[in-house]
Amino acid sequence: MKSFSKRKLSKAVFIGLIMVPTMLLIQSSQLKKGGKDLKIGKKAPMTSTSLTGVDGNSYNLDKLTQENGLIVIFTCNTCPFVVGNDSFEGWEKQYNEIYKTAKANKMGVVLINSNEAKRTGVDSSVEMKKHSENKGYTMPYVVDKDSKLANAFGAKTTPHAFILDKNKKLVYKGSIDNSWDTKKTELTTYLYNAIAQLAEGKTIEENSTAPRGCSIKRTK
């Protein structure tokens, strides 16, 4: 598998990133929310917990884990860091490519919506199904009732990515890439790098990065 390590950001994209509204960046106080903080090397919790998908099927992390592991992405329907805006492309544009890359490397992928405080509105099951169909998601998109899985993982933002190995131990957590960082002139594809290194049996060089996005909307 070829390296995804770094790609040059165009000047236009770099300028656009500078214009990302400050109010959209997760504040340090918000980062403290989210229950436990799952540590690298620890086995993921609640892997047998049933999660209902927008397709009506029931899933759990045990069954979704493939030969080399599982990618878990906490996401939602409306956060600009997910869906994009005039200044930022939005990370969900990469979801199907992530799925394709993961599949090629014998890994599963699941998208999890933990925005319980918006479950009767923009993040309802009905709206999730519409969003999934509109965006052409190729992986399961499931409801995390009462944000229990997000709390168990210590997920803080949408998006927030986690990679589990074949034994469901955490080997990566954080951002998909560093496109949010206005000080960077090169794009570092953290998630793709981790996928490649895990599939090749290598130690993941950068296994924990800062998540960026909107806070997960919990009810407690």
Give the model's pLDDT for residue 35. 57
Instruction: Specify the pTM.
Output: 0.85
> Can you give the pLDDT of all 220 residues of the chain as single tens digits?
444 544 444 444 443 444 344 334 433 334 445 457 999 999 999 999 999 999 999 999 999 999 999 999 999 999 999 999 988 899 999 999 999 999 999 999 999 999 999 999 999 999 999 999 999 999 999 999 999 999 999 999 999 999 999 999 999 999 999 998 888 889 999 999 999 999 999 999 999 999 999 999 999 7
pLDDT, tens digit, 9 for 90 and up, residues 203-215 = 999 999 999 999 9
Structural domains of the chain, with CATH: 46-215 (3.40.30.10)
Give the model's pLDDT for residue 101. 98
Contact 88, 189 (CB under 8 A): no
Apex 5 CA angle, 28 and 193, nearest 5: 70
Residue 41 CB contacts under 8 Å (≥ 6 apart), including other chains:
169, 170, 171
